[in-house]
Structure 1
Amino acid sequence: MGPGNGETGAEVADDAIVAGQIILGLKTLRDHLGCSLHEALDVYVARYEVLRRERPADFTKSHEEYWANFYS
């Protein structure tokens, strides 16, 4: 997270998010941000939405397929 760039630190999990590695992404966020699992999930979902808008071609699964079988 660079100074003044408006990032939250969530970009550390971008590779995992794009790859659909939800558990790894959550762990990465928890370790990096020092937050609870619930907070990490909130950050993950927010970053997922940003990446879906900014880099749609990087995702190989539809939104429905991405979240299939993930229950929180």
Structure 2
Amino acid sequence: MTDRWPEIDENIVRHRIMSAMMILREAFGYGVREAIDAFDARYRLLRETRPDDFTVSSEEYGRHFYS
């Protein structure tokens, strides 16, 4: 399996939530709950380590997103 984290990270910082979730599920075989947990952990890590890369503020991120 190739390393999909750069692709996942790019989707997360660009506010492409569904794309990141789909890759997490495909790459790791996660169910929905596992993918949400993995997304949340990676989102928090990226907010700490790459805050300037995000295209929306933390207050706006995820607003109006319903799965």
1:10 Cα deviation from its structure 2 partner: 7.1
The one-character-per-residue Cα deviations of 1:13-72 (angstroms, maximum 9, x if unpaired) are 111101100000000000000010111010001000000000000012111211101235
**Aligned partner of residue 12 in structure 2, secondary structure:** helix
Count of matched residue pairs? 65
Query: What is the distance in 2 between the residues matched to 1:64 and 1:71?
Result: 16
Any residues of structure 2 matched to 1:27-66 within 5 Å, and which? 27-66=22-61
TM-score with structure 2 setting the length = 0.85
Please, which runs of 5 or more residues in structure 1 have no aligned partner? 2-8
Structure ranking higher on relative contact order (CA contacts 8 Å, 6+ apart): 2
Q: After TM superposition, which residue ranges in structure 1, 4 or more long, deviate above 4 angstroms?
A: none
Partner of 2:18: 23
Percent of aligned pairs with the same amino acid: 43
Please, which runs of 5 or more residues in structure 2 have no aligned partner? none
Structure with the greater alpha carbon radius of gyration? 1
